[in-house]
Protein backbone atom coordinates (compact mmCIF):
# COMPACT_ATOMS: atom_id res chain seq x y z
CA UNK A 1 0.00 0.00 0.00
CA UNK A 2 1.55 3.31 -1.08
CA UNK A 3 0.87 6.53 0.83
CA UNK A 4 1.07 9.96 -0.73
CA UNK A 5 1.87 13.19 1.11
CA UNK A 6 0.65 16.31 -0.63
CA UNK A 7 2.13 19.78 -0.07
CA UNK A 8 0.62 23.03 -1.04
CA UNK A 9 2.51 25.47 -3.28
CA UNK A 10 3.19 27.81 -0.35
CA UNK A 11 4.72 24.99 1.72
CA UNK A 12 7.03 23.99 -1.14
CA UNK A 13 8.22 27.57 -1.61
CA UNK A 14 8.84 27.90 2.13
CA UNK A 15 10.99 24.74 2.21
CA UNK A 16 13.05 25.90 -0.82
CA UNK A 17 13.70 29.27 0.81
CA UNK A 18 14.83 27.68 4.08
CA UNK A 19 17.18 25.24 2.31
CA UNK A 20 18.73 28.08 0.26
CA UNK A 21 19.27 30.13 3.43
CA UNK A 22 20.99 27.14 5.11
CA UNK A 23 23.29 26.72 2.11
CA UNK A 24 24.30 30.40 2.22
CA UNK A 25 25.06 30.15 5.93
CA UNK A 26 27.25 27.06 5.36
CA UNK A 27 29.40 28.99 2.88
CA UNK A 28 30.14 31.66 5.47
CA UNK A 29 31.22 29.19 8.18
CA UNK A 30 34.65 27.47 8.29
CA UNK A 31 35.04 24.07 6.62
CA UNK A 32 34.32 21.16 8.99
CA UNK A 33 33.59 23.52 11.84
CA UNK A 34 36.19 23.08 14.60
CA UNK A 35 34.58 22.78 18.01
CA UNK A 36 37.76 23.95 19.76
CA UNK A 37 37.88 27.23 17.88
CA UNK A 38 34.26 28.25 18.46
CA UNK A 39 33.50 30.54 21.32
CA UNK A 40 30.59 32.47 22.65
CA UNK A 41 30.10 35.83 21.02
CA UNK A 42 30.24 37.57 24.37
CA UNK A 43 33.63 36.12 25.33
CA UNK A 44 36.93 37.68 24.26
CA UNK A 45 39.07 35.28 22.22
CA UNK A 46 42.86 35.46 22.79
CA UNK A 47 44.79 35.01 19.58
CA UNK A 48 48.22 33.45 19.34
CA UNK A 49 50.72 33.64 16.51
CA UNK A 50 53.75 31.82 15.13
CA UNK A 51 56.45 33.02 12.77
CA UNK A 52 58.56 30.78 10.55
CA UNK A 53 60.57 30.51 7.35
CA UNK A 54 59.54 27.96 4.71
CA UNK A 55 61.27 27.04 1.47
CA UNK A 56 59.82 29.09 -1.38
CA UNK A 57 58.99 25.99 -3.44
CA UNK A 58 56.93 24.49 -0.59
CA UNK A 59 55.19 27.65 0.62
CA UNK A 60 51.97 27.07 -1.34
CA UNK A 61 51.58 23.49 -0.07
CA UNK A 62 52.38 24.70 3.46
CA UNK A 63 49.60 27.29 3.28
CA UNK A 64 47.03 24.82 1.93
CA UNK A 65 47.76 22.16 4.54
CA UNK A 66 47.57 24.75 7.33
CA UNK A 67 44.16 25.85 6.08
CA UNK A 68 42.82 22.30 5.79
CA UNK A 69 44.26 21.04 9.08
CA UNK A 70 42.78 23.93 11.06
CA UNK A 71 39.55 23.88 9.03
CA UNK A 72 40.06 27.43 7.91
CA UNK A 73 40.37 28.87 11.41
CA UNK A 74 43.73 30.59 10.84
CA UNK A 75 44.83 33.92 9.44
CA UNK A 76 48.20 33.93 7.76
CA UNK A 77 50.36 36.20 5.68
CA UNK A 78 53.58 35.46 3.82
CA UNK A 79 56.29 37.50 2.16
CA UNK A 80 59.26 36.56 -0.01
CA UNK A 81 62.71 37.05 1.54
CA UNK A 82 64.90 38.95 -0.93
CA UNK A 83 68.21 37.54 0.28
CA UNK A 84 69.24 33.88 0.11
CA UNK A 85 68.87 32.31 3.57
CA UNK A 86 71.32 29.77 5.03
CA UNK A 87 69.43 26.91 6.67
CA UNK A 88 70.69 26.55 10.28
CA UNK A 89 70.22 22.77 10.24
CA UNK A 90 71.76 21.76 6.89
CA UNK A 91 73.93 24.81 6.23
CA UNK A 92 72.64 24.97 2.63
CA UNK A 93 71.37 28.13 0.93
CA UNK A 94 67.67 28.41 0.07
CA UNK A 95 65.17 30.97 -1.16
CA UNK A 96 62.48 31.16 1.52
CA UNK A 97 59.22 32.84 2.43
CA UNK A 98 58.49 34.25 5.87
CA UNK A 99 55.11 33.37 7.39
CA UNK A 100 53.12 34.77 10.30
CA UNK A 101 50.17 32.59 11.37
CA UNK A 102 47.47 33.79 13.76
CA UNK A 103 45.34 31.16 15.49
CA UNK A 104 43.06 30.57 18.45
CA UNK A 105 43.23 27.58 20.79
CA UNK A 106 45.86 25.08 21.89
CA UNK A 107 44.67 22.39 19.47
CA UNK A 108 45.23 24.70 16.52
CA UNK A 109 48.67 25.62 17.88
CA UNK A 110 49.62 21.95 18.23
CA UNK A 111 48.56 21.22 14.65
CA UNK A 112 50.49 24.19 13.30
CA UNK A 113 53.65 23.15 15.17
CA UNK A 114 53.43 19.62 13.74
CA UNK A 115 52.98 20.99 10.22
CA UNK A 116 55.97 23.31 10.68
CA UNK A 117 58.05 20.33 11.80
CA UNK A 118 56.92 18.26 8.80
CA UNK A 119 57.86 21.05 6.38
CA UNK A 120 61.20 21.64 8.16
CA UNK A 121 60.20 25.24 8.76
CA UNK A 122 62.62 27.38 10.76
CA UNK A 123 60.58 28.80 13.65
CA UNK A 124 61.73 31.92 15.44
CA UNK A 125 60.20 32.56 18.89
CA UNK A 126 58.73 36.01 19.44
CA UNK A 127 57.27 36.93 22.81
CA UNK A 128 53.60 37.87 22.99
CA UNK A 129 54.22 40.41 25.75
CA UNK A 130 54.72 43.91 24.31
CA UNK A 131 57.47 44.76 26.80
CA UNK A 132 59.46 41.65 25.91
CA UNK A 133 58.91 42.34 22.22
CA UNK A 134 60.49 45.77 22.61
CA UNK A 135 63.45 44.24 24.47
CA UNK A 136 63.97 41.65 21.73
CA UNK A 137 63.84 44.32 19.02
CA UNK A 138 66.40 46.46 20.86
CA UNK A 139 68.67 43.46 21.44
CA UNK A 140 68.56 42.31 17.82
CA UNK A 141 69.03 45.87 16.55
CA UNK A 142 72.10 46.25 18.79
CA UNK A 143 73.62 43.01 17.50
CA UNK A 144 72.96 44.03 13.91
CA UNK A 145 74.63 47.38 14.54
CA UNK A 146 77.68 45.67 16.06
CA UNK A 147 77.92 43.23 13.16
CA UNK A 148 77.61 46.06 10.63
CA UNK A 149 80.39 47.98 12.38
CA UNK A 150 82.62 44.88 12.39
CA UNK A 151 81.93 44.12 8.73
CA UNK A 152 82.55 47.73 7.68
CA UNK A 153 85.86 47.74 9.58
CA UNK A 154 86.86 44.45 7.91
CA UNK A 155 85.99 45.78 4.45
CA UNK A 156 87.99 48.96 5.08
CA UNK A 157 90.97 46.93 6.31
CA UNK A 158 90.77 44.68 3.25
CA UNK A 159 90.65 47.71 0.93
CA UNK A 160 93.73 49.20 2.62
CA UNK A 161 95.62 45.90 2.33
CA UNK A 162 94.74 45.53 -1.34
CA UNK A 163 95.85 49.10 -2.00
CA UNK A 164 99.16 48.47 -0.23
CA UNK A 165 99.68 45.22 -2.13
CA UNK A 166 98.90 46.96 -5.41
CA UNK A 167 101.55 49.62 -4.74
CA UNK A 168 104.25 47.16 -3.63
CA UNK A 169 103.40 44.24 -5.92
CA UNK A 170 106.24 44.91 -8.37
CA UNK A 171 108.79 45.33 -5.58
CA UNK A 172 107.62 42.12 -3.89
CA UNK A 173 107.76 40.24 -7.20
CA UNK A 174 111.41 41.23 -7.69
CA UNK A 175 112.18 40.25 -4.10
CA UNK A 176 110.48 36.89 -4.55
CA UNK A 177 112.47 36.16 -7.69
CA UNK A 178 115.65 37.11 -5.89
CA UNK A 179 114.83 34.88 -2.93
CA UNK A 180 114.04 32.01 -5.28
CA UNK A 181 117.41 32.51 -6.98
CA UNK A 182 119.17 32.58 -3.60
CA UNK A 183 117.56 29.27 -2.73
CA UNK A 184 118.93 27.73 -5.92
CA UNK A 185 122.39 29.09 -5.08
CA UNK A 186 122.19 27.67 -1.57
CA UNK A 187 121.08 24.29 -2.90
CA UNK A 188 123.97 24.23 -5.39
CA UNK A 189 126.40 25.28 -2.67
CA UNK A 190 125.28 22.50 -0.33
CA UNK A 191 125.60 19.95 -3.11
CA UNK A 192 129.12 21.22 -3.89
CA UNK A 193 130.13 21.01 -0.24
CA UNK A 194 128.85 17.44 -0.05
CA UNK A 195 130.87 16.52 -3.12
CA UNK A 196 134.04 18.12 -1.74
CA UNK A 197 133.67 16.33 1.57
CA UNK A 198 133.52 13.04 -0.31
CA UNK A 199 137.14 13.17 -1.52
CA UNK A 200 140.10 11.85 0.43
CA UNK A 201 143.46 13.64 0.48
CA UNK A 202 145.30 10.60 -0.97
CA UNK A 203 143.09 10.16 -4.06
CA UNK A 204 145.12 12.67 -6.08
CA UNK A 205 141.96 14.45 -7.19
CA UNK A 206 142.14 18.14 -7.87
CA UNK A 207 138.98 20.25 -7.88
CA UNK A 208 139.19 23.52 -9.76
CA UNK A 209 136.32 26.01 -9.65
CA UNK A 210 135.91 29.44 -11.21
CA UNK A 211 133.79 32.42 -10.30
CA UNK A 212 133.54 36.06 -11.21
CA UNK A 213 132.37 36.97 -7.68
CA UNK A 214 135.25 35.91 -5.48
CA UNK A 215 134.30 38.62 -3.00
CA UNK A 216 131.13 36.80 -1.95
CA UNK A 217 132.49 33.26 -1.64
CA UNK A 218 131.02 31.36 1.29
CA UNK A 219 133.65 30.92 4.04
CA UNK A 220 132.60 27.28 4.30
CA UNK A 221 134.19 26.68 0.88
CA UNK A 222 137.55 28.03 1.99
CA UNK A 223 137.98 25.68 4.94
CA UNK A 224 140.90 23.27 5.02
CA UNK A 225 140.16 20.14 3.03
CA UNK A 226 137.93 21.93 0.55
CA UNK A 227 139.26 24.84 -1.53
CA UNK A 228 142.75 25.31 -0.15
CA UNK A 229 143.92 27.99 -2.57
CA UNK A 230 142.37 31.05 -4.11
CA UNK A 231 144.05 32.38 -7.22
CA UNK A 232 142.79 35.67 -8.54
CA UNK A 233 143.29 36.63 -12.19
CA UNK A 234 143.02 40.25 -13.25
CA UNK A 235 140.76 41.26 -16.11
CA UNK A 236 142.42 40.38 -19.43
CA UNK A 237 143.84 43.09 -21.64
CA UNK A 238 142.71 43.60 -25.22
CA UNK A 239 145.59 41.51 -26.47
CA UNK A 240 144.75 38.72 -24.03
CA UNK A 241 141.08 38.82 -25.03
CA UNK A 242 142.10 38.55 -28.69
CA UNK A 243 144.19 35.47 -27.91
CA UNK A 244 141.32 33.92 -26.00
CA UNK A 245 138.94 34.51 -28.90
CA UNK A 246 141.54 33.14 -31.29
CA UNK A 247 141.49 29.86 -29.37
CA UNK A 248 137.74 29.56 -29.90
CA UNK A 249 137.79 30.37 -33.61
CA UNK A 250 141.00 28.54 -34.45
CA UNK A 251 139.21 25.93 -36.55
CA UNK A 252 136.56 28.33 -37.85
CA UNK A 253 136.70 30.36 -41.05
CA UNK A 254 136.37 34.00 -40.04
CA UNK A 255 136.25 36.93 -42.40
CA UNK A 256 139.02 39.44 -42.12
CA UNK A 257 136.52 42.17 -41.36
CA UNK A 258 135.48 40.52 -38.07
CA UNK A 259 137.04 42.09 -34.99
CA UNK A 260 137.89 39.54 -32.33
CA UNK A 261 138.70 42.08 -29.66
CA UNK A 262 135.65 42.49 -27.38
What domains, with CATH codes, occur in the chain? 48-126 (3.30.70.2750), 234-262 (no CATH)
Sequence-ordered list of residues with C-beta below 8 angstroms from that of 34, at least 6 positions apart, any chain: 70, 71, 73, 105, 107, 108
Q: What is the mean pLDDT of the chain?
A: 73
- DSSP secondary structure letter of residue 229: -
Could you tell me if 261 and 238 are in contact, meaning their C-beta atoms sit under 8 angstroms apart?
A: yes
**What confidence score (pLDDT) does residue 203 get?**
63
Most confident of 94-98, 122-126, 136-140, 221-225: 136-140
Residue 239 has pLDDT above 80, yes or no: yes
**Chain centroid to CA 190: how far?**
45
**Comparing 96 with 45, which gets the higher pLDDT?**
96
> Mean of the pLDDT values across residues 43-65?
76
Residue 110 has pLDDT above 80, yes or no: yes
Residue 42 has pLDDT above 60, yes or no: no
Could you tell me if 108 and 34 are in contact, meaning their C-beta atoms sit under 8 angstroms apart?
A: yes
**What confidence score (pLDDT) does residue 73 get?**
80
Q: How confident is the model at residue 98 (pLDDT cuts 50, 70, 90)?
A: confident
Q: How confident is the model at residue 181 (pLDDT cuts 50, 70, 90)?
A: low
> Mean of the pLDDT values across residues 52-67?
80
Nearest residue to 72 via CA among 124, 111, 40, 99: 111
pTM assigned to the model: 0.37
Amino acid sequence: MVGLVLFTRSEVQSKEASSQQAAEESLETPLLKDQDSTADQGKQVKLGFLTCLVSKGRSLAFERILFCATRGNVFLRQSFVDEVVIDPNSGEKFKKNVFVVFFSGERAKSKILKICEAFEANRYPFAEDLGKQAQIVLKVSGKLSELKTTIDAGLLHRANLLETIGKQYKQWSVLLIKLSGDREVQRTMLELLNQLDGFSSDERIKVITTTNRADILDPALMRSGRLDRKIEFPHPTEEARARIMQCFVEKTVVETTVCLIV
